[in-house]
Amino acid sequence: MKQNLKIAILMTLVTTVLLGIIYPLIVTGLAQGLFHDQANGQLINHRGEIVGSRIIGQTFAGKGNLHSRPSAAGNGYDAANSGGSNYAPTNQKLIDRVNGDVARLQAENPGKLIPIDLVTTSASGLDPDITPAAAEFQVPRIARERGLSEDQVREIIRRHTQGRQWGFLGEPRVNVLEVNLALDDVNRLPTK
């Protein structure tokens, strides 16, 4: 009995040191050495200041900005409350929100088809990207509000559009934060 207790305590100590200290240090060291940017949250440094992450969305509702996909995470893009609303398609709150978004977007761009990702939220509520169609839908408004040509705005969006991973996984996407930073570099909006 005494021998079994001694072995159990020794195994607990050895596995705690191996799996609780040594293994995490090795994995952290490898991640920092091989994938430094990814291991640190893919933070974006703009003009000497960290302004966000390439992989976590933010709200950009202001004039002249490319707007993000709607978010149901907390009060919107709240990483502490990540998740969708989980409303059923027949839920009146969801229907009212989507109808309100559709009406606002139709007023912004009359007669144009509204891309679905501009009126629906994602599962996480933290998507940093929108579809190229959603970005294209916003081009006339951004150009008008910033005093740029539509071609200038399209070129900025094109430069920040990523294709499918390895050519076949996922869909093309546009990083909203990167586009807005590039728009600011080209044309700073006056602050009020």
Mean pLDDT of all residues in 24-51? 87
Identify whether residues 62 and 35 lie together within a single domain: no
The amino acid at residue 136 is: E
Lowest average pLDDT, out of 31-45, 68-82, 151-165, goes to 68-82
Backbone angles phi, psi at 50, to 5 degrees: -75, 120
Q: How far apart are CA 148 and CA 143, in angstroms?
A: 5
Q: Would you say residue 155 lies in a domain?
A: yes
Identify whether residues 78 and 172 lie together within a single domain: yes
Identify whether residues 126 and 68 lie together within a single domain: yes
Q: Quick check: 163 pLDDT over 80?
A: yes
Q: Would you say residue 20 lies in a domain?
A: yes
Identify whether residues 108 and 26 lie together within a single domain: no
Identify whether residues 94 and 9 lie together within a single domain: no
Q: How far apart are CA 175 and CA 6, in angstroms?
A: 56
Confidence of residue 189 (pLDDT cuts 50, 70, 90): low
Identify whether residues 59 and 133 lie together within a single domain: yes
Identify whether residues 134 and 91 lie together within a single domain: yes
Total domains present in the chain: 2
For residue 4, give both structure tokens: 């079994």
Identify whether residues 1 and 49 lie together within a single domain: no
Mean pLDDT of all residues in 147-163? 94
Q: Where are the beta strands (DSSP E) in 54-171?
A: 129-130, 161-162
Give SS3 for 182: helix
Backbone angles phi, psi at 62, to 5 degrees: -70, 165
Q: Would you say residue 164 lies in a domain?
A: yes
User: Measured on CA atoms in the order 115, 119, 123, 125, is the torsion positive or negative?
Assistant: positive
Provide the domain limits for residue 11.
1-40
Q: At what angle do helices 132-146 and 176-186 cross, to 10 degrees?
A: 20
Q: Would you say residue 191 lies in a domain?
A: no
Listed residue (147, 162, 113) closest to 133, CA to CA: 113
pLDDT tens track for 64-98: 899 988 887 766 777 777 777 778 889 898 899 88
- Residue with tokens 């599962």, as numbered in its chain: 123
Identify whether residues 94 and 158 lie together within a single domain: yes
Number of H helices, E strands in the chain: 7, 5
Lowest average pLDDT, out of 39-43, 71-75, 119-123, goes to 71-75
Mean pLDDT of all residues in 128-150? 93
Lowest average pLDDT, out of 25-39, 62-76, 132-146, goes to 62-76
Q: What is the predicted pLDDT for the residue at 138?
A: 94
Backbone angles phi, psi at 91, to 5 degrees: -70, 130
61 or 65: which carries more pLDDT confidence?
65
> What is the CA 190 to chain-centroid distance, rounded?
26
Listed residue (179, 89, 90, 182) closest to 135, CA to CA: 179
